[in-house]
Structure 1
Amino acid sequence: MPFSFGSVELAELDALLEQFPVLAGRPRELEDLAGGLTNRNVKVTTQSGVYVARCCDTSSSLLGIDRDNEYANSRAAEAAGVGAPVIDYRPDLGILLIGFVPGRTLCDDDFARPGVIAKVANACRALHAGPRFRDDFDMFTLQPSYLKVISDNGFRIPDDYHDYAERFAAIREALADDHTTVPCNNDLLAANFVEDGDHVWLIDYEYSGNNDPCFELGNVWRECNLSLEQFSELVTAYHGRASRRTFARARLQGTVSQYGWTLWGCIQNGASALEFDFWEWAMERYERAVEEFRGPDFTRLLDDARAPD
């Protein structure tokens, strides 16, 4: 029977974990970790090792999360040197068991510390140079599928959401000349970076897939609340040089991410049983997208994205 995150006491979860060979018969301590809006993360400490059990409810698919894809891509990220070790996977239980990576979980303010942006860029570049992921991820495809879920279920969205459909399409057209895709996490909020000295781990591969690397960078900009100056530093560090074209493409993809993730929040607002303000979460992203859609730089960014590098 699939695990329903949040509805099981730690003692009950401990009994499920006994089915994992690496944990069977070993004394262990369980501790809930913060975060996780679509799963529950539990730290498992034994004398021989420390692990994280990523527990999910497999009964709902409104958000389009593919747990088999998450498992396959977590293994690829491990091979790339930036993902946590993958220990075991039990889809029948809804549990992915990974190694606990040491270090400091980042927050938005950490990006102002010297050297952090460079380390983040290096980690993204290492992931992108690693083994291809199992499936692709494209917000231009996911966004209309989210809209259908919302329409089919009568969920609430911002009243003027569709007013920006033409600008969303204009970005898609401006980016259409480059079909480069690499293995991307696609959900790198600050809490999904773990700083371990000069190394940065990237965690949580629920939305991972082969994608335009500019989406990864643009999503980091918005999800980590970077200033435009910090964002420029990130793009330059990632590419090793400054480029108006790559900066424009990453900035436009940042807007694409926010317009799409708005719908993710709207679906959660209508369907999730969690005590969390998903509507506020969605509106934060929507306001960022609208700011760019209506901003004075929008047309120039489209032109820069189409220009030769």
Structure 2
Amino acid sequence: MVLPIDQDAFNDIIARVPEIVGAHEIHVRHLEGGLTNTNYLVEANGGQFVARIIGDNGPVLVRDRSTEEAAMRRAEAAGVAPEVVLFTQPEGHMVTRYLADTSPLTVEAFTSTEMIPRLAGRLRDVHALDPIKGTFNPYTDIRRWLEIIGVRGTPWPDRLGVLLERVERIERERTPVREVDFVLCHNDPYHLNFLDNGTTLWMIDWEYAGMGDRMYDLASIGYVLDQDGRDLLVESYFSGRNPRRRDGLDAMICVVVCWNVVWSLIQTHGGVAGFDYFEFAESLFDLLPTPENGVASG
């Protein structure tokens, strides 16, 4: 078996899982889709597991893995996330129980009117979990990553400067608002981070989880939806139409897009080979709310 990581490191991680140790045969298959880390399906002793190995940019993107582990333990206990079999600290390598008979959501399913209420309901479940110590602050991430990008000399997209000014205004406006009560958030509810078996929606990839603004979670879904989809998301989550909440979603979508653009620029050095992160960053600007799709430019 030849893996695109250090074989000795992988074997060391697997050797810490009692259900795998001593197996006569271990079958490992690389799972596609990760843009930061690498994931493997491991089959041994009749069990199936997913091993996640942190990528080169892992320590840059996430500085405290204890927050992720705490969030996953909460979510696992509530039936929202798969069972955590092993979580190494401080590295963040992880082994979870493989969820058989589930599939990641396609973009088409994720953005459908049938799925949006289910997504909203799952976010409510997450946001109702007991608090943890670690926090998530997208504005702090953006500033910290911009410093790293500056040191690396990474070029910026032409449209980033204007977006950063917009996000600074949003931060000033939202920070004093008392309705921004911190709850436990996933903070990366990307369509591939939902696994569905037709009845239950499971959430994976909790590395950015932490106490934060619930509207960021909603905007992380809403930024790929059309205007009607965004309306439905807010109505489903808050149990009715609420123009003020809808405006808050539009504003936070700008923050989500900015966070993802800067994340992509970090990934141009040390990300997954063969993926064009700069092109991906450029494409994100087209998802920004505009007066034409229902939100003012401020």
> TM-score of the superposition, structure 1-length normalised?
0.85
Q: Deviations over 1:101-143 (max 9, x none)?
A: 2312101100355532222111111111012233111112211
Whether 2:256 is the aligned partner of 1:257: answer: yes
- Which residue of the partner structure matches residue 190 of structure 2? 189
Q: CA deviation at 1:90?
A: 2.6
Higher mean Cα deviation, 112-121 or 29-38?
Answer: 112-121
SS of the residue corresponding to residue 121 of structure 1 reads helix
Cα distance, 1:296–1:106 mapped onto 2, change above 3 Å: closer
The answer to whether the 8 Å contact 2:56/2:270 transfers is: no
Q: Deviations over 1:169-211 (max 9, x none)?
A: 2212332313311111111111001112221011101111111
Whether 2:32 is the aligned partner of 1:34: answer: yes
Partners of 2:122 and 2:246 lie apart in 1 by 19
- Which residue of the partner structure matches residue 105 of structure 2? 106
Whether 2:156 is the aligned partner of 1:157: answer: yes
Higher mean Cα deviation, 236-245 or 159-168?
Answer: 159-168
- Which residue of the partner structure matches residue 283 of structure 2? 284
Whether 2:23 is the aligned partner of 1:22: answer: no
Look up the equivalent residue of 1:180 and give its one-letter code: D
| Aligned residue among 94, 97, 100 for 1:96 | 94
Q: CA deviation at 1:45?
A: 1.9
Q: Deviations over 1:32-56 (max 9, x none)?
A: 1111111111111234422111111
Partners of 1:128 and 1:220 lie apart in 2 by 15
- Which residue of the partner structure matches residue 306 of structure 1? none
| Aligned residue among 51, 69, 83 for 1:71 | 69
Cα distance, 1:235–1:44 mapped onto 2, change above 3 Å: same
SS of the residue corresponding to residue 96 of structure 2 reads strand
SS of the residue corresponding to residue 211 of structure 2 reads strand
Partners of 2:153 and 2:252 lie apart in 1 by 28
- Which residue of the partner structure matches residue 238 of structure 1? 237
Partners of 1:137 and 1:128 lie apart in 2 by 13
Structure 2 residue ranges without an equivalent (≥5): none
Q: CA deviation at 1:229?
A: 0.8
Look up the equivalent residue of 2:266 and give its one-letter code: I
Q: CA deviation at 1:15?
A: 5.9
Q: Deviations over 1:209-231 (max 9, x none)?
A: 11111110111122xx2212112
Partners of 1:297 and 1:130 lie apart in 2 by 31
Cα distance, 1:60–1:259 mapped onto 2, change above 3 Å: closer
Cα distance, 1:293–1:270 mapped onto 2, change above 3 Å: farther
Cα distance, 1:200–1:60 mapped onto 2, change above 3 Å: closer
- Which residue of the partner structure matches residue 131 of structure 1? 130
The answer to whether the 8 Å contact 2:36/2:58 transfers is: no
- Which residue of the partner structure matches residue 172 of structure 1? 171
In the alignment of these two chains, the number of paired residues is 292
Q: CA deviation at 1:151?
A: 1.2
Partners of 1:133 and 1:293 lie apart in 2 by 38
> TM-score of the superposition, structure 2-length normalised?
0.88
Look up the equivalent residue of 1:100 and give its one-letter code: Y
The answer to whether the 8 Å contact 1:69/1:134 transfers is: yes
Whether 2:14 is the aligned partner of 1:13: answer: no
Partners of 1:278 and 1:166 lie apart in 2 by 22
Cα distance, 1:274–1:68 mapped onto 2, change above 3 Å: farther
Look up the equivalent residue of 2:132 and give its one-letter code: F
Partners of 2:13 and 2:168 lie apart in 1 by 47
- Which residue of the partner structure matches residue 60 of structure 2? 62
Q: Deviations over 1:271-298 (max 9, x none)?
A: 4362210111111123323x54997722
Partners of 1:211 and 1:92 lie apart in 2 by 22
The answer to whether the 8 Å contact 1:111/1:226 transfers is: no
The answer to whether the 8 Å contact 2:267/2:277 transfers is: yes
Partners of 2:253 and 2:57 lie apart in 1 by 31
- Which residue of the partner structure matches residue 143 of structure 2? 144
Look up the equivalent residue of 1:126 and give its one-letter code: D
Quote the sequence identity (%).
25
- Which residue of the partner structure matches residue 305 of structure 1? none
Look up the equivalent residue of 1:117 and give its one-letter code: I
Higher mean Cα deviation, 182-191 or 57-66?
Answer: 57-66
Higher mean Cα deviation, 12-21 or 64-73?
Answer: 12-21
